[in-house]
Amino acid sequence: MTKTFAAAVLLIAATTAHAANDPKEAIAALDARLAKIGAPKLEGTEKAGDKTVGAIFFGARKINNNYDVVDEIKKTTGASATVFVKDGDEFIRVSTNVLTPEGKRGVGTPLARAKAYEAVSKGDKYCGQVDVLGTPFDACYHPIKDAGGKVIGLTYVGYKK
């Protein structure tokens, strides 16, 4: 009985460790957490670093400069997480646990113009290897669409390579 129990614990631990490094599972958790708060919408503006961008809400909760959800994702999955808001033809970080080289949250920084940018700009999801503020990650990006289907932002999760 003891060996069987130990084997079961090891199997669960191995499965959990594998799942914990899957960006598809982590972004599903982030998107589900945000959806539980409410429907996404842009309303007014807010400072993000040194930029003024649209304020993104899920239900009544403003996400700009609010780190509860991204920090919860880091705690539960180990993934870095970000919510971006669409600003013209850019996506700007408004809530993130990704740190700059100076050790500050990367709020106000834009999404790099690479494969992920191309996909989410068209309203598509993207998963693959990316560079986040100079560091390689296995990542996923999902567009955030308002009630009319317009892309107003995006979610991101990633694991350092």
How high is the pLDDT of residue 100? 83
How high is the pLDDT of residue 20? 53
Q: Profile the chain (161 residues) by mean pLDDT over runs of 10 residues.
A: 40 42 95 97 94 96 97 95 97 93 91 92 94 85 95 96 87
Residue type, 21: N
Place of tokens 């999404």: 111
Token code pair at residue 116: 């992920």
Alpha-helical runs (H) found in 21-160: 23-37, 68-77, 115-121
- Cβ atoms of 51 and 81 within 8 Å: the answer is no
Token code pair at residue 29: 């958790």
Sheet of 80-87, strand order: 90-96, 80-87, 151-160, 135-145, 126-132
Domains of the chain from N-terminus onward: 2-160 (3.30.450.20)
Residue type, 86: K
Cα distance between residue 8 and residue 15, in whole Å? 11
Using DSSP, state whether 109 is helix, strand or coil.
coil
Using DSSP, state whether 15 is helix, strand or coil.
helix
Place of tokens 């961008």: 53
C-alpha distances in Å from residue 15, one per residue of 11, 38, 77, 98? 6, 31, 13, 26
